[in-house]
Amino acid sequence: MRYDNRPQKLPDVISIEEFNELLKVTKKPHNRLAFKLGFLCGLRISEVVKLLPEDIDLNRKMLFIRDAKGGKDRYVPFPSALTRDLKVLPFKIGKRAIQKSISILSEKALKKKIHFHTLRHSSATYYLHKGMDIRYVQQLLGHSNLNTTQIYTHISPDNLQNKMDEIWK
């Protein structure tokens, strides 16, 4: 959280459609899984590469995120569609290789370079726009302070225009 008066820049995000385009050009299973964990579960790249098979609870559909930022542990739910992909674990590549892959593949698929953290920002934004309570998003991301999560409550100009049109039709 900032304590000065500098304006806070909104995080870069991609839409679900853009994410699907990224997946279409992603051929390596470990990259596909990493990207899905970033977007679908809101994981940080450091959390992704540390994930082990024993951290997966298939019955409860939960991932155990060990020693995340701030030394905290947490459980993160995952969608059923991710179950088959999780067989790729453990990751045999590091953070830099994943970051390089997303940079190259996003340029190819989206004609713009994104960072892995963009997937986490996009995840939070997507879930909030789909109506998920901000406290659930806070827990999903592992934020201690709700103020940290509130940056994702930004309103896109398109959504604002749609609401304006709804009111004035």
What 3 state SS string does the chain have? CCCCCCCCCCCCCCCHHHHHHHHHCCCCHHHHHHHHHHHHCCCCHHHHHHCCHHHEECCCCEEEECCCHHHCCEEEECCHHHCCHHHHCCCCCCHHHHHHHHHHHHHHHHCCCCCHHHHHHHHHHHHHHCCCCHHHHHHHHCCCCHHHHHHHHCCCHHHHHHHHHHHCC
Mean pLDDT of 25-39: 96
Give the range among 13-22, 52-61, 104-113, 133-142 with minimum mean pLDDT.
133-142
Q: Is 135 a catalytic residue?
A: no
Q: Is 152 a catalytic residue?
A: yes
Mean pLDDT of 74-83: 92
Q: Residue 142: its pLDDT value, please?
A: 79
Could you say which of 28, 60, 69, 113 is catalytic? 69
Could you say which of 30, 36, 121, 143 is catalytic? 143
Mean pLDDT of 57-80: 90
Q: Residue 2: its pLDDT value, please?
A: 46
Q: Is 117 a catalytic residue?
A: yes
Mean pLDDT of 29-43: 95
The chain-wide mean pLDDT, for the chain, equals: 86
Q: Is 126 a catalytic residue?
A: no
- Set out the domains of the chain in order of their start, with CATH numbers: 16-167 (1.10.443.10)
Mean pLDDT of 99-114: 96
Residue of higher predicted confidence among 87 and 169 = 87
Q: Residue 160: its pLDDT value, please?
A: 61
Q: Is 121 a catalytic residue?
A: no
Q: Residue 138: its pLDDT value, please?
A: 84
Q: Is 129 a catalytic residue?
A: no
Could you say which of 36, 120, 126, 127 is catalytic? 120
